[in-house]
Amino acid sequence: MLRQKNRELGPAWYSNCLKNFKSKVFTFWANFILTGRDIIAMKSYIHSNHLKNLKVCPSVLVQLVFCCLLFIAADVSFAIDEGGCLTCHQFPGLVRHEKGDGFKVLHIDEASYVKSAHGKVDCRKCHTRVVKVPHTGETHVDCNSACHLEEKDRQLVKNYPLKDFHKGEQSFITRLDDETACRVCHPLYPHAENKLVRALLNLHTGFMVCDVCHLKKENYPDFTYHWKDTENADFSGQPFGTYYNPKTQTAHKSEHFLSRIAVYVKNDGERQLTFNPADTRKAKEFLLKEKNLTNDQRTDALNYFHRDIAKKEISVACDECHSFHSILDFKQLGFSEKTATNLKSLNIKGLVTKYKTFYFPDLFEN
């Protein structure tokens, strides 16, 4: 039924609507991912803008507005991302943890990609089996769906190594001088369980220390968030992240090191990190003797290291920072008004908090 409606309305209708709505819909939809309430509001919006003659069924309207949202969510757009892939993949440091110390980089820099040989090819022309989020394990790439159709080209790309195909368009941290106890046991990109959000959580490695999200707040009734001292960092691709200059009290990008947001408490009137260097030393000692410990001894040790650590539901963790009642005062931390607003109203939050599986609309199919 949905595809039939698509054919009845025709691709020209969608194209015109997307063009007309793009500037108007941005403000209206900046903080929404579609719900029934939003559809009703959007219908009213359409009627108030003298578009009463359009025959819009709710299911088609959902697809239309979703695509508008995806197109305008990215900071820059080159009209090559029909499926809205860069809504997630635009973020540097988007990394998925794999077995051992391995990881897979999922970031794609659009400006770099558009300059490449495939810059005018939409993502899903090659990644033809990607139809939903998350799409973990979907590694199939079809080089012959729209290109390389001649037999000579088919043979040329048949055995082409694709593992590092997007390497020139990716940025991530390869080393970070993190002296917290967390990093003794946990890898640089620690989140691995939740397939929908693990890479999104891992990109926070370059922006904050673990206990900003995982602090057991009842253990610290009086705490604040400030910048931690800079840490040396190595990058692959373009450096990213923030360096906070205490003299100017502003945050900006740096090429050689990072500042990260951390939790501070008062101790004898002085501000100090919740991070305890003694715990780092004990964690290293624990790793050396872990194999010789009994189950009870190991449990006791882990309980000690995690005594101030709390696990959180994803919806709570996202909303604590990326909302207009954020626990972080972005302006006080040195971010500009524009950046602070963008961080509070991050559109991707709705996709993460409202869906376990999200299927892409096939708006442009056929």
Model pLDDT for residues 10-52, shown as the tens digit of each residue: 444 344 444 344 333 333 333 334 333 343 334 434 444 444 4
**pLDDT score, position 66:** 55
- AA letter at 242: T
The pair of structure tokens assigned to 256 is 């050689």
Q: Spell out the long-range contacts of 337-344 with Cβ–Cβ below 8 A and sequence spacing 24 or more.
A: none
CA proximity to 260, closest of 178, 316, 183: 178
- Give the range among 20-34, 188-202, 267-281 with minimum mean pLDDT: 20-34
The pLDDT tens digits of the residues spanning 110-127 come to 999 988 888 888 888 889
Q: Which is more confident, 307 or 346?
A: 307
pLDDT at residue 282 is higher than 90: yes
Enclosing H/E stretch for 232: strand 231-236
Q: Where in the chain are the domains?
A: 2-73, 87-169, 176-348
Q: Work out the average pLDDT over 302-315.
A: 86
Per-residue pLDDT band for 77 (boundaries 50, 70, 90) equals: very low
Q: Is the peptide bond before 239 cis (omega within 30 degrees of 0)?
A: no
**pLDDT score, position 251:** 77
pLDDT at residue 133 is higher than 60: yes
Q: What's the whole-model pTM score?
A: 0.72
**pLDDT score, position 13:** 38
The number of beta carbons lying within 10 Å of the beta carbon of residue 317 is: 19
CA proximity to 121, closest of 104, 138, 144: 144
Return d(Cα 33, Cα 192) in angstroms, integer: 25
Return d(Cα 294, Cα 291) in angstroms, integer: 8
Per-range mean pLDDT, top range of 72-86, 95-109, 329-343: 329-343
The pLDDT tens digits of the residues spanning 314-350 come to 767 788 899 999 999 999 888 889 999 999 988 788 7
Q: How far from 281 is each of 24, 179, 277, 286, 304, CA to CA, in Å?
A: 56, 10, 7, 9, 13
**pLDDT score, position 81:** 78
Residue 167, Cα to own-chain centre: how many angstroms?
18
Return d(Cα 330, Cα 336) in angstroms, integer: 8
Q: Work out the average pLDDT over 276-287.
A: 94
**pLDDT score, position 65:** 57
Q: Which is more confident, 172 or 56?
A: 172
